[in-house]
Amino acid sequence: MASMSSVKSSIITVMTKAAIKASKGLLRDFGELENLQVSVKNNKSFVTSADLRADKILKEELLWARPTYSLLSEESEEIVGEDPSFKWIIDPLDGTMNYMRGFPHWAISIALENNGEIIAGLTYDPIKNEMFWAEKSAGAYLNDKKIRVSGKRSMSEALIAFADVNASFAKAAVSSKIRKTGSTTLDMAYVAAGRLDIFYTVNSYKWDVAAGMLMVKEAGGLLGDKTGAKTDDYKKLAVASNVDLLSPAAAAL
């Protein structure tokens, strides 16, 4: 990690304050898991009352700061603002199953889209107090220090994470250096920070990968589809990695 630091822009400051405020309730309830009320969403995944409260706080904070913007969240209906060219994309709790089990690996994800392009992204891990963030053409950072993807050049050296492990990942999963952490936004932040070398995903939701896609690119990494072609389309995203590993990572699928 380089020592270079950056002054946060007004947009990143808004995102940071919203994430920290939403994290307080999540941290409180994480310490009292036995008191959580848990319901089941239509897609059969779990959502907690803490998740919904964090969603409410993020929406209030972000739309108070930028009241004309639109907002897309995992946990509630999309809000169409007066200026639809700008859209907040949020996941108030990425890693819900980890959270419910008391496994301390989950995060808040916020991205800002302008005319279909992600221009700012933030992933906050309250447990470790790690704030990953990036802005278009301004680099990627962990707290206030610039981060960069790893320099690993061979699959045999790579530490690999999967959003989902299924038959399409069979060849790629033969390595012993594999992880499935349960938080997509943290996996992508870890690729940006050089902690992971490759991240595989399939059929991602926009709120899962929006912040991470910008972060990886701003940290010098690449995003690819299943053929290894570069992509900025979250629906086609299959691999996030450093420059040297994109092609071999895609070939392993």
Among 37-41, 100-104, 126-130, the range with the most confident prediction by mean pLDDT is 126-130
Phi-psi region of 50 (alpha: psi -120 to 50; beta: other; left: phi over 0): alpha
Q: Note the pLDDT of residue 31.
A: 82
Dihedrals phi, psi of 22, to nearest 5 degrees: -70, -30
Q: Note the pLDDT of residue 46.
A: 61
- 1 occurs within a structural domain: no
pLDDT of 174 > 70? The answer is no
By residue count, the chain amounts to 253
Clarify whether residues 114 and 226 are in a common domain.
Answer: no
Q: Note the pLDDT of residue 42.
A: 55
Please give the structure tokens belonging to residue 120.
């700012």
Please give the structure tokens belonging to residue 148.
């960069």
How far is the C-alpha of 180 from the C-alpha of 193, rounded, in Å?
17
Q: Helix H segments across the chain?
A: 10-30, 49-65, 96-100, 184-192, 206-218, 246-251
How far is the C-alpha of 50 from the C-alpha of 38, rounded, in Å?
9
CATH of the domain at 245: 3.40.190.80
Clarify whether residues 75 and 177 are in a common domain.
Answer: no
Q: Give the residue from 82, 113, 146 where a domain finishes.
A: 146
Residues in CB range of 26: below 8 A, 6 or more apart:
50, 51, 54, 92, 93, 99, 106, 108, 126
Q: Give the residue from 108, 129, 146 where a domain finishes.
A: 146
Q: Note the pLDDT of residue 8.
A: 79
Domain count within the chain: 2
Clarify whether residues 161 and 223 are in a common domain.
Answer: yes
Q: Note the pLDDT of residue 2.
A: 40
Q: Note the pLDDT of residue 48.
A: 81
- 4 occurs within a structural domain: no
Cα 8-111-113 angle, rounded to 5 deg: 105
pLDDT of 36 > 60? The answer is yes
Question: Which of 220, 199, 209 lies closest to 146 in space, CA to CA?
Answer: 220
Clarify whether residues 47 and 88 are in a common domain.
Answer: yes
Q: Give the residue from 146, 168, 184 where a domain finishes.
A: 146
Q: Note the pLDDT of residue 167.
A: 47
Q: Note the pLDDT of residue 3.
A: 40
Clarify whether residues 114 and 180 are in a common domain.
Answer: no
- 24 occurs within a structural domain: yes
Domain containing 206 equals 155-251
The overall pTM is greater than 0.85: yes
Q: Note the pLDDT of residue 113.
A: 97
Tens of pLDDT along 213-228? 999 999 999 999 999 9
E strand or H helix at 101: none
- 5 occurs within a structural domain: no
